[in-house]
Amino acid sequence: MSAQLLALDPATYKRHPIHGGERVWAETNCYVDLWVELAHALGHEPIAALPFTFAIDFEGDQWTFFKFPQRDLYELFGLDVQELAIWRPLLSHIEEQVGRGRPVLVELDSFYLPDTAGTAYKLHHVKTTVAVVGIDVERKLLGYFHNQGYFQLGGDDFDGVFAPATLPPYVEFVKRREAPHAELVPTSLRLLKEHLALVPATNPFGAFKERFAHDLQILMQETLETFHLYSFATLRQYGACYELCATYLDWLAAHGETGLEELTREFRELSEAAKAFQFQLARAMARKKPLDLTPLDGMAERWERGIGGLKARYG
């Protein structure tokens, strides 16, 4: 039995521009990247759902692992995300839901995902979320969104991802309904105002700089593997997120909102500064050399101007 809710081919699938080659950060995090492509393939503009990006914060030992709020996805696109209870073999549930026209978001082992070649595929067992939109049990084929695109796996990899697990994975499915609001831009602006109310009360870069100075002493004794883990939880999280902030403001400008150029520049430069600082940290750790932390002060100033300007206008 097979089920396919989107007629897609990995060889011809066109990714959303958020995953274009000119981006400062090629990837954000697996959950956001997945939803960008899934919403795009379902005919929606995921940029309209980016107001939540402005509200991220430094959480003490990491920056917010930002995700599309499920309520926003429903308000804008009518995408109703529900948890899927696993009481049968996982394969049976996926086949059932995809057959009903519902994408299934499921945690799978990257060891069997060919799109992770060079990082995890056949190398490491790493849990990650994919969105399944096609399945053919007899031919052992699975069509899924992951990170920046649409992919397929089959054969032994199909058997591997559906091998019995000690604990069932967390699984969601997406019911596609009529969006409750027909006007996309006004709805997105309303969500922007709501998320600006959730922005940290104090500039998060002050606390981050203080903690970073402490963490740096430990990082200097660690390997580059630790650098990648630390950077993903900190510099990449806020760097990629603030680039999405700039992308959202560009989208608003393209849809009639004026006077956003300066604010857009603040967030884009903040994102670029985070990328440059990530390279500087990697070099400092590799060479066991001191690292100048003043770039964090510049990021703090850009955050203050960008968020302050947005609150003055939309808050």
DSSP per-residue string spanning 115-145: GGTTTTTTT---EEEEEEEEEETTTTEEEEE
CA 50 to chain CA mean position, Å: 11
> What pLDDT was estimated at residue 1?
61
Q: For residues 242-265, give the mean pLDDT.
A: 98
> What pLDDT was estimated at residue 6?
87
pLDDT band for position 21 (cuts 50, 70, 90): confident
Q: For residues 5-31, give the mean pLDDT.
A: 92
Where along the chain do its domains lie?
2-43+79-176, 184-314
Q: For residues 266-292, give the mean pLDDT.
A: 96
Average pLDDT, the chain: 95
Q: For residues 279-291, give the mean pLDDT.
A: 95
Q: Which of 52, 30, 175 is nearest to 116 (CA)?
A: 30
Is residue 305's pLDDT more than 90? Answer: yes
Residue pair 191/292 in contact by the 8 Å Cβ criterion: no
Q: Which of 2, 18, 30 is nearest to 145 (CA)?
A: 30
Q: For residues 208-223, give the mean pLDDT.
A: 96
> What pLDDT was estimated at residue 45?
98
> What pLDDT was estimated at residue 254?
98
CA dist list (Å): 90 to 11, 165, 267:
27, 10, 42
> What pLDDT was estimated at residue 166?
75
The pTM is what? 0.94
**Residues paired with residue 174 on neighbouring β-strands, in sequence order:** 81
**How far is 94 from 71, CA to CA, in rounded Å?**
23
Token pair of 88 as six digits: 């049968």
CA dist list (Å): 130 to 11, 15, 32, 55, 146:
18, 16, 11, 25, 5
Containing 153, the helix (H) or strand (E) segment is: strand 149-154
> What pLDDT was estimated at residue 3?
78
> What pLDDT was estimated at residue 4?
83
**How far is 199 from 57, CA to CA, in rounded Å?**
8
**How far is 216 from 237, CA to CA, in rounded Å?**
18
Supply the Cα-derived Rg of the chain in whole angstroms. Answer: 21
Conformational region of residue 175, where left means phi above 0, alpha means psi within -120 to 50, and beta covers everything else = beta
- Cα angle value 303/308/314 (rounded, 5°): 125
pLDDT band for position 191 (cuts 50, 70, 90): very high
Residue pair 129/106 in contact by the 8 Å Cβ criterion: yes
Could you tell me what percent of the chain has a pLDDT over 70?
A: 100
Could you tell me what percent of the chain has a pLDDT over 90?
A: 90
CA dist list (Å): 75 to 49, 66, 152:
9, 18, 30
Half-sphere exposure of 25 (CA within 13 A, CB side): 32
What does the pLDDT look like over 151-183, one tens digit per residue?
999 999 999 999 987 788 999 999 999 988 889
79-83/149-154 β-pairing:
unpaired
Is residue 200's pLDDT more than 80? Answer: yes
